[in-house]
Amino acid sequence: MLDQTPKKVVEREALRINPAKTCQPIGAMYASLGIHGCLPHSHGSQGCCAYHRSHLTRHYKEPVMAATSSFTEGAAVFGGGANLRQAVNNIFHVYNPDIIAVHTTCLSETIGDDIPSLVNQAREDGLIPEGKLVIHTNTPSYEGSHVTGFSNMCRSMVSYLTKSSGEKKNQLNILPGFVEPSDMREIKNILKEIGVPAVVFPDTSDVLDVPQTGKFDMYPKGGVTIAEMNSTGDSQKTLALGAFASEDAAKMLQTKAEVPYEVLDLPIGLSATDRFIEAIVELTGSEPPASITDNRGRLLDMMLDYQQYLYGKKVAIAGDPDHVIAMTEFVVSMGMIPTYVITGTPGKKFVLRIKGILKDINPTAKIKAAADFFELHQWMKNEPVDLLISNTYGKYIARAEDVPFVRFGFPILDRVGHSYFPTVGYVGGMRLVEKITGVIMDRKDRDDPEEVFELVM
Amino acid sequence: MSQTATTLKNENLVEEIVTRYPPKVARKRRKHMVPVKPGTEQTIAANARTVPGIITQRGCAYAGCKGVVLGPIVDMVHIVHGPIGCSFYAWGTRRNQGKARKGGQNFLEYSFSTDMQPDNIIFGGEKKLRKAIEEAYELFKPKAMSLHATCPAGLIGDDVIGVGREMTEKLGIPIIGFACEGYKGVSQSAGHHLANNGLFEHVVGRDDKKAGKFAINMLGEYNIGGDAWEIERIFEKCGIDIISTFSGNGSFDEIAQAHNAQLNIIQCHRSINYMAEMLEDKFGIPWLKVNVIGLKSTSKSLRKIGEFFDDAKLSARIEEVIAEEEAAAEKELAEIRERLQGKTAMLFTGGSRAHHYQALFKDLGMKTVVAGEEFAHRDDYEGRKVIPTIKIDADSRNITELKAERDPERYHPPKSEEEIARLKEEGKLSEYEGMLPDMVENSILVDDITHLEQEMMIASYNPDIVCSGVKDKYIFEKMGIPSKQLHNYDYSGPFAGYHGAVNFARDIDMRVNNPVWKMIQPPWQKRPMIKAEMMVETEKEIRA
């Protein structure tokens, strides 16, 4: 496995090997699926759309519907305007969504297609039926990562759909970040438990975790509605979960509708969830219901009960910046020592933040943004770790180096559960403790000599 | 199954479908759907542009070149020149399996990209590509590399072919550029063609080596789920040597020796018939079409090869192998067939499998009611006889049609010209009759099927299983119809040859007869609710 990877690390300037990121449009497509009645549309060659749909499907095991402008060489030379016009007309005629969310690709960005004027023209020419919407975001694949694309679509949802009626509503906006449908559902459950009305957007619960009923629905019941999106300008406040995925949209909401915002970490792990709950109860002015405090206590209990298996264990963490930041803080709170912490997404903020979390725990930890799995593997060859936490692509390294492995983040292509069971909130934290202790204890069971093989652990 | 079947005659259904499109789209799509009438001459439109906005299964030329043809070659470093996504999505997702040769390298677990950034787009990316090649060379010292252009790289004028040539000279290993930008052609098919041209120009013929008596190349077999290994097992048992496989578990050195074979056999006609034609033009190696999917068709294919070599001992051995393998497989199949007999299937695949798997379904007693390909050409549907009548449009004209010249020293046909001409005349060489003649009464043949067409055809035929790819699988299953992926095999396989037929039968049995399908409706929806002994409290009341 990965037999060609040498131990010696040589700095690379140009060659990316085994990336820990992918390109912007898939993030935008995912975010668009979190709008009710929306058909995402990829403005570029049809391969992009095929790849993004396939990969999202591999992760969610659910239908992922999206259309494409199907560029051919002519469009690459003369621009994709005609393709977009045809696409918009055909989509409304044949598939009848409430809204089309267009994202660009590296091809249409390089050509320089001006989507807003193309869409305006299409509207003037009557290609967009009355009451139907077309929004867009720019997702140049050669910049940032899939997280950037997600963030861009969230921002565009605000810039196109947020309205201010002039009258404030008793509600909160929550940008949940690039998380699972299960996580979005859990965030809504927490808000419901506390009793705070909120618009959570985007919201892929009931879109990418749809029950089997024997009936296919191209536009499932989930997703933030247009009316809900319109109302976000009247909310009291926006909580943006995860700076990389959510801050831009929150900022846009402030600029556009003067809704103040606060950026929080993804509520993954005890402390980050504490801060999330605190931010809400500060607004409500009352303590959260006992059920929430009880869940907190149960997570804390688990962290204590199993500390001996986690204390001092070295961890490598790879993934998307918001996820990795929260996870790093969480494992530190359980006595583990992050040794290597990387993200494929570029961003100095990431490095600074992780350095802050690790300054007293492991000041010599290797921390890198715009990194890849190849380099992480080389580090691990030089100084091994006890646990690897990453998306599915880490499984090659885990096998090559025989390291316990927890799948976390996007994408997970080879295991069940991520779209059904959350990792956010106290309950999500409990699931993570179960997963992490599970692989470490399994390893101990595998490697302990027979005479010390434990029945009770 | 919960879909209400409004079974229509095939032609009425096709007419009904097109009414749902805008008129311009309807005119186009009508030509891509053929209500099959066996025994009549029918024609289909294919290899044409997909209509923008109409949901398609198709991918791009890059996917065909890097993803399908080049990617499976295990011992080359395949560098994708572009933004990160293109390389990322083609990393380990297609299930083309492969092993390192003894002492050799295997790069299938790796993804290489120049990860282009905004300044590379603005100022050009060739410099970064050169640097990436050097870094790859320093790290791995591979025997060869391939370079793949993506959409923006091509648009800004980066010349991957030129960079390949230049770096070949500099580093002394073959570095082959492929201008397979995603916007080329109308589907993956353009990429297959480009890929074959490059392999033929730069790899085939590098290594002269005397081959055995019955030496062949296996063309268009990509070792998904280990298919190529099952085929190798059977051929080895018969005494037939495979010099190289294009390109499943492929190796640079083996492909370099391909021209030493006596015969090429083609599995996937769509993706690779170019290679077979060029190998014949340059080296005199004839080709014949096989189908190693299905019990009977595998045996038929072996007999065709035996007949070509016309060697009593080989033919006798082939018969022995067929008898032994068929009997063993039949033993396993008999019981499964009882549960599948009379069931119906739909097949939506890439370029050839919707034809190949009809044979295997027939072995299982099942009927294929709708079949179609994403990126096939008319010859794949109607047979090679239509090739002279296919109009070359603007999209195809951009893909170079390589004309291979006869190699003055190495052109060695295995039989006399007259004999080869006779075999061609008899349809035993260079012939493929396409999928249409094997399709049954009241079935539909459809090219580049759209989501709308799938929905309506499924509603009408109410099939027992739909075979397609990952993008559609869960759509069908949400409809309550079992689905089997025939691109990646749902992480199972092999399905080729005799062992494969048994694996496939078990797999289809498992899906079609899965007890879960009978549990979709909850018990409380099956009968009216009339009893009321308790009151239900609403959430609000509970909270209060």
pLDDT digits (tens, 9 = 90+) for A33-78: 999 999 999 999 999 999 999 999 999 999 999 999 999 999 998 9
Nearest Cα residue to A331 out of A213, A433, A425: A433
> Could you tell me if A90 and A123 are in contact, meaning their C-beta atoms sit under 8 angstroms apart?
no
Given an 8 Å threshold on Cβ–Cβ distance, is B112 in contact with A45? Answer: no
Taking the C-alpha atoms of residue A342 and residue A325, their distance in angstroms, rounded to an integer, is 10
Taking the C-alpha atoms of residue A115 and residue B52, their distance in angstroms, rounded to an integer, is 15
Residues 6+ apart with CB under 8 A from A44: A25, A68, A69, A71, A80, A104, A105, A106, A107, A108, B151, B182
Among A161, A192, A221, give the residue marking a domain's end.
A161
Active site (annotated) includes residue B60: yes
Q: How far is B350 from chain A (nearest CA, A)?
A: 13
Select B61-183's CATH number: 3.40.50.1980, 2.60.120.10, 2.40.10.10, 3.40.50.2000: 3.40.50.1980
Given an 8 Å threshold on Cβ–Cβ distance, is B56 in contact with A70? Answer: yes
Taking the C-alpha atoms of residue B7 and residue A186, their distance in angstroms, rounded to an integer, is 44
CA atoms within 13 A on the CB side of B444: 28
Active site (annotated) includes residue B151: no
> Could you tell me if A152 and A196 are in contact, meaning their C-beta atoms sit under 8 angstroms apart?
no
Chain A interface, mutation test: which of B102, B151, B458, B543, most A Cβ atoms within 10 Å? B151
Taking the C-alpha atoms of residue B191 and residue B427, their distance in angstroms, rounded to an integer, is 29
Do residues A289 and A316 share a domain? no
pLDDT digits (tens, 9 = 90+) for A249-282: 999 999 999 999 999 999 999 999 999 999 999 9
| DSSP designation for B483 | E
- Output the pLDDT for position B527: 83
Given an 8 Å threshold on Cβ–Cβ distance, is A210 in contact with B478? Answer: yes
Q: Phi-psi category of B115—alpha, beta or left, where left has phi over 0 and alpha has psi -120 to 50?
A: left
Do residues A65 and A191 share a domain? no
Among A134, A161, A188, give the residue marking a domain's end.
A161
Q: Look at residue A423 and tell me if it is in a domain.
A: yes
Question: Which of A23, A45, A195 has its CB closest to that of B183?
Answer: A45
Cα-based angle B228, B229, B231 (whole degrees, multiple of 5):
65
Do residues A243 and A278 share a domain? yes
Do residues A190 and A130 share a domain? no
Exposed / middle / buried, residue B303 (Cβ in 10 Å: 0-12, 13-18, 19+)? middle
Exposed / middle / buried, residue B514 (Cβ in 10 Å: 0-12, 13-18, 19+)? exposed
- Output the pLDDT for position B394: 86
Chain B residues with CB under 8 Å of A64 CB are: 471
Residue A172 backbone phi and psi in degrees, to 5: -115, 150
Task: State the catalytic residue, choosing from B46, B63, B501, B505.
Answer: B63
- Output the pLDDT for position B543: 52
User: Which two structure tokens, joined as six digits, stand for A240?
Assistant: 């943006």
- CATH number, domain of A323, equals 3.40.50.1980
> Could you tell me if B50 and B186 are in contact, meaning their C-beta atoms sit under 8 angstroms apart?
yes
Given an 8 Å threshold on Cβ–Cβ distance, is A54 in contact with B478? Answer: no
- Output the pLDDT for position B477: 98
Count up the domains in chain A and report the number: 3
| Strand pairing report for B145-149 and B77-81 | parallel
Question: Which of B62, B116, B474 has its CB closest to that of A142?
Answer: B116
Q: Look at residue A194 and tell me if it is in a domain.
A: yes
User: Which two structure tokens, joined as six digits, stand for A54?
Assistant: 């396939």
Taking the C-alpha atoms of residue B529 and residue B531, their distance in angstroms, rounded to an integer, is 6
Taking the C-alpha atoms of residue A156 and residue A138, their distance in angstroms, rounded to an integer, is 9
CA distances from A178 to A103, A150, A159, A424, B276 (A): 17, 7, 19, 12, 48
Do residues A147 and A259 share a domain? no
Residues 6+ apart with CB under 8 A from B151: A44, A45, A71, A76, A105, A106, A107, A110, B62, B82, B181, B182, B183
Among A293, A320, A351, give the residue marking a domain's end.
A293
- Output the pLDDT for position B541: 59
Chain A interface, mutation test: which of B50, B78, B84, B487, most A Cβ atoms within 10 Å? B84
User: Which two structure tokens, joined as six digits, stand for B11?
Assistant: 């032609």
Q: Residue A344 CB: number of other CB atoms within 10 A?
A: 28
> Could you tell me if B146 and B252 are in contact, meaning their C-beta atoms sit under 8 angstroms apart?
no
Do residues A148 and A176 share a domain? no
Residues 6+ apart with CB under 8 A from B383: B432, B433, B434, B436, B437
Per-domain residue ranges for chain B?
61-183
Do residues A287 and A398 share a domain? no
- Output the pLDDT for position A353: 98
Residue with tokens 């097992």: B233
Given an 8 Å threshold on Cβ–Cβ distance, is A54 in contact with B20? Answer: no
Q: Cis bond leading into B247, ω under 30°?
A: yes
Question: First-to-last CA distance in chain B?
Answer: 43
Nearest Cα residue to A122 out of A153, A93, A87, A154: A87
Taking the C-alpha atoms of residue B439 and residue B347, their distance in angstroms, rounded to an integer, is 12
pLDDT by position in tens, chain B (length 544)? 334 445 679 999 999 999 999 999 999 999 999 999 999 999 999 999 999 999 999 999 999 999 999 999 999 999 999 999 999 999 999 999 999 999 999 999 999 999 999 999 999 999 999 999 999 999 999 999 999 999 999 999 999 999 999 999 999 999 999 999 999 999 999 999 999 999 999 999 999 999 999 999 999 999 999 999 999 999 999 999 999 999 999 999 999 999 999 999 999 999 999 999 999 999 999 999 999 999 999 999 999 999 999 999 999 999 999 999 999 999 999 999 999 999 999 999 999 999 999 999 999 999 999 999 999 999 999 999 999 999 988 888 888 899 999 999 999 999 999 999 999 999 999 999 999 999 999 999 999 999 999 999 999 999 999 999 999 999 999 999 999 999 999 999 999 999 999 999 999 999 999 999 999 999 999 888 777 788 877 655 555 4
Taking the C-alpha atoms of residue B32 and residue B35, their distance in angstroms, rounded to an integer, is 10
Q: Look at residue A240 and tell me if it is in a domain.
A: yes
Relative orientation angle of helices A181-194 and A425-447, to the nearest 10 degrees: 130
Do residues A428 and A315 share a domain? yes
Burial B393-421 (b: 16+ CB within 10 A, else e): eebbebbeebebeeeeeeeeebbeeeebe
DSSP B494-516: --SHHHHHHHHHHHHHHHHT-GG
Q: Look at residue A389 and tell me if it is in a domain.
A: yes
Taking the C-alpha atoms of residue A169 and residue A159, their distance in angstroms, rounded to an integer, is 19
Average pLDDT value over all residues in chain A: 98
Alpha-helical runs (H) found in A313-403 = 321-333, 348-358, 373-382, 395-401
Which residues face B79 on adjacent strands? B112, B147
Taking the C-alpha atoms of residue A266 and residue B423, their distance in angstroms, rounded to an integer, is 69
Do residues A35 and A62 share a domain? yes
User: Which two structure tokens, joined as six digits, stand for B68?
Assistant: 């399908």
Relative orientation angle of helices A181-194 and A270-284, to the nearest 10 degrees: 40
Do residues A398 and A323 share a domain? yes
Task: State the catalytic residue, choosing from B192, B202, B269, B487.
Answer: B192
Do residues A177 and A97 share a domain? no
User: Which two structure tokens, joined as six digits, stand for B475?
Assistant: 């759509």
Q: Look at residue A431 and tell me if it is in a domain.
A: yes
Question: Which of B51, B61, B543 has its CB closest to that of A86?
Answer: B51
Structural domain for A247, as ranges: 172-293
Residue with tokens 């098919």: B189
Chain A interface, mutation test: which of B24, B54, B123, B397, most A Cβ atoms within 10 Å? B54
> Could you tell me if A22 and A142 are in contact, meaning their C-beta atoms sit under 8 angstroms apart?
no
Chain B residues with CB under 8 Å of A57 CB are: 470-471, 473-474
Question: Which of B53, B63, B117 has its CB closest to that of A47?
Answer: B63
Side chain identity at B271, as an amino acid letter?
Answer: S
Residue B241 backbone phi and psi in degrees, to 5: -95, 135
CA distances from B279 to A169, B175, B203, B232 (A): 73, 22, 12, 21
DSSP A399-414: HHHT--EEE-SS---S
Q: For residue B75, what is the nearest residue in chain A, using CA coordinates?
A: A4
Task: State the catalytic residue, choosing from B60, B144, B329, B354.
Answer: B60
Do residues A131 and A54 share a domain? yes
CA distances from A135 to A70, A130, A156, A169 (A): 19, 15, 7, 25
CA distances from A387 to A399, B42, B229, B317 (A): 12, 61, 35, 54
> Could you tell me if A82 and B49 are in contact, meaning their C-beta atoms sit under 8 angstroms apart?
no
Q: Look at residue A243 and tell me if it is in a domain.
A: yes
Question: Which of B53, B111, B394 has its CB closest to that of A18?
Answer: B111
